[in-house]
């Protein structure tokens, strides 16, 4: 954890607002994450909470939107599965209801099976080991039923050996 900046007035709301804007300009953040970052910068709990409320009221901070965007990016760009995403969002302090809503919406929009198949095919090409491929998909956060379905589909593929 970084040291607090001794030049910062912990009760300066203008400076806290500027710091918060700088943080969310870089990327969207959860309420808990923004609170922790402001505290790390040396702002008081009261000042940090005040800024968070102000940002929530203005729409700059929205955990429901954050959960959706985070989930979408993790799934499509990083190829992480729903279990991994759920754990990350919990760690970032997002409420369970927002997490579930985001993951349900994402699963309606994106074919998890297709993403898992792409990952499995690529990993199996390197390892030539079905068990290692299963474990790899599980570590990436895919659920056992999707993993089983992907493995069964790939067994029928002519590039799949075992």
Condensed to tens digits (0 to 9), the pLDDT of residues 103-130 reads 999 999 999 999 999 999 999 999 999 9
Average pLDDT, the chain: 92
Q: Where are the domains of the chain?
A: 13-58, 63-109, 112-155
pLDDT at position 103? 97
pLDDT tens profile 95-104? 999 999 999 9
Give the model's pLDDT for residue 158: 54
- Residue partners of 17: CB distance under 8 A and separation at least 6: 51, 54
pTM, to two decimals: 0.86
Q: Is the pLDDT of residue 159 over 70?
A: no
Q: For residue 160, what pLDDT is reported?
A: 56
Instruction: Give the model's confidence band at 29: pLDDT under 50 very low, under 70 low, under 90 confident, else very high.
Output: very high
C-alpha span between 139 and 120 (Å, rounded): 12
Report CA-CA distances (Å) from 14 to 18, 133, 138.
6, 51, 45
Q: How confident is the model at residue 10 (pLDDT cuts 50, 70, 90)?
A: confident
Band of pLDDT at residue 4, cut at 50, 70 and 90: low
Q: What is the pLDDT of residues 30-50, one digit of tens each?
A: 999 999 999 999 999 999 999
> For residue 70, what are its two tokens?
């985070």
Neighbours of 102 (CB within 10 A): 25
In angstroms, rounded to a whole number, what is the distance separating the alpha carbons of residues 106 and 67?
A: 10
Confidence band for 9, pLDDT divided at 50, 70 and 90: confident
Has domain 13-58 been given CATH number 1.10.10? Answer: yes
């Amino acid at each position: 954890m970084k040291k607090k900046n001794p030049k910062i007035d912990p009760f300066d709301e203008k400076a806290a607002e500027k710091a918060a804007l700088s943080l969310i300009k870089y990327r969207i953040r959860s309420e808990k994450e923004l609170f922790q970052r402001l505290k790390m910068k040396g702002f008081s709990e009261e000042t940090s909470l005040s800024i968070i409320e102000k940002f929530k009221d203005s729409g700059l901070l929205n955990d429901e939107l954050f959960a959706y965007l985070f989930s979408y990016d993790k799934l499509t760009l990083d190829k992480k599965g729903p279990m991994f995403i759920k754990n990350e969002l919990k760690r970032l302090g997002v409420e369970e209801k927002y997490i579930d809503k985001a993951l349900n919406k994402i699963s309606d929009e994106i074919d998890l099976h297709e993403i898992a198949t792409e990952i499995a095919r690529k990993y199996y090409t390197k390892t030539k080991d079905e068990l290692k491929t299963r474990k790899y998909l599980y570590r990436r956060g895919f659920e056992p039923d999707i993993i089983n379905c992907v493995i069964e589909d790939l067994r029928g593929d002519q590039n799949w050996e075992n």
